[in-house]
Amino acid sequence: MAVSVKFICLLGLLVVILNIAGLDAAGECGKSSPDDEAMMLAPCAMAAQDEKAPVSDSCCAEVKKIGQNPSCLCAVLLSNTAKASGIKPQIAITIPKRCNIENRPVGFKCGPYTLP
């Protein structure tokens, strides 16, 4: 529980800093930046750091929503916010499969990682 609160606070601080710096531009996630979208994945914090951690229903719902655009999901998983919060991309990339999302982008290349 303490890790989740710490994660959410860290993400909030980073988003504020990025918005103040004027780095919030349209890109892979449309008008929202990957760092802003990373905030939506706060319920996935533990599952993105430990492959044996259970994936919550709220995490799966957010991943399914963001995953409709594989480029956005990839950008979120590799974002500065995700990195700063301790997300391990090699584990986070497995969440769509762990959520049993049927129409996930299997084989999509995300940086050095491939969605299983």
How do strand 109-110 and strand 113-114 relate by DSSP bridges? antiparallel
**Angle at the Cα of 98 (from 95 to 103), degrees rounded to 5?**
85
Domain ranges of the chain: 2-114
Q: What is the pLDDT of residues 53-106, one digit of tens each?
A: 999 999 999 999 998 999 999 999 999 999 898 899 999 999 999 999 988 878
Q: What is the residue type of 24?
A: D
Residue 60: C-alpha distances to residues 7, 15, 23, 28, 55 (Å): 18, 22, 28, 20, 7
Q: What is the pLDDT of residues 27-56, one digit of tens each?
A: 889 989 999 999 999 999 999 999 999 999
**Is pTM, for the whole model, over 0.85?**
no
Residues 80, 62, 69, 77: what is their CA dihedral angle, to the nearest 10 degrees?
20
